[in-house]
Structure 1
Amino acid sequence: MSLGDKFGHKADELGGKAKEAAGRATGDEELTGEGQNDQAKAGVKKAAEDIKDSVGEAGDKLKNAFKKD
Structure 2
Amino acid sequence: MGHVLIDLHKPPSGALTPFSAYVALSRSKGRSTIRLLRGFEPKLFTTHPSDDLAVEDARLDLCDAATQNQSI
Would you call these one fold, judging by a TM-score over 0.5?
A: no
Q: Which has the higher helix share?
A: 1
Q: Which has the higher strand share?
A: 2
Which protein is bigger by CA-based radius of gyration? 1
TM-score, normalized by length of structure 2? Answer: 0.34
TM-score, normalized by length of structure 1? Answer: 0.35
Greater relative contact order structure (CA < 8 Å, 6+ sep): 2
